Amino acid sequence: MIAILCVDNNNGMMFCRRRQSQDRLLREHVIHLIGLHKLWMNSYSKTQFINTDSAQILIDDNFLEKALHGDYCFVEDMDISQYTEKLEKIILFHWNRLYPADMFFTLDLSEWTLEEKEDFTGHSHEKITKEVYSK
Partner 1 sequence: MNKVKLSIAVLLSSITIALSACAQPVTTESENLALAAHYENEIKAVSSLNEGQQSPDTASLSSSQPYETSSPQEMSSPQEMSSPQEMSSPQESTFSLSAIVPYAGQPYIAVNGNIPYFEEEDLIAQSYETYSDLDDLGRCRAACASIGIDLMPTEERGNIGQVKPTGWHLAKYDIVDGKYLYNRCHLIGYQLSGENANEKNLITGTRYLNVQGMLPFENMVADYVKESENHVLYRVTPIFEGNNLLASGVLMEAESVEDKGESILFCVYVYNVQPGIIIDYATGESSLDTSTPETANTPVPDTAATEPSTSDDTTDPSTSGTAAAEPSTPGAAAEPSASSAETVIEPQPQVPQEAEPQGTTYILNTNTKKFHYPSCSTIGQMKESNKEEYTGDRENIISRGYVPCKKCNP
| Residues at the interface with partner 1 (CB under 8 A) | 8-11, 15-16, 18, 20-24, 32, 47, 92, 94-101, 105, 107-110, 112-120, 123-125, 129, 131-133
The Cα angle at residue 112 between residues 41 and 1, in degrees rounded to 5: 25
Cα dihedral: 97, 98, 104, 105 (round 10): 30
Q: Report, in Å, the least distance between residue 66 CB and partner 1.
A: 26
The residue among 65 and 106 lying less far from partner 1, judged by its C-beta, is: 106
Q: Report, in Å, the least distance between residue 86 CB and partner 1.
A: 19
The residue among 83 and 99 lying less far from partner 1, judged by its C-beta, is: 99
Question: What is the C-alpha to C-alpha distance for residues 62 and 74, in angstroms, rounded to an integer?
Answer: 12
Q: Are 112 and 134 in contact (CB under 8 A)?
A: yes
Q: Report, in Å, the least distance between residue 11 CB and partner 1.
A: 6
Question: What is the C-alpha to C-alpha distance for residues 61 and 87, in angstroms, rounded to an integer?
Answer: 18
The residue among 56 and 129 lying less far from partner 1, judged by its C-beta, is: 129
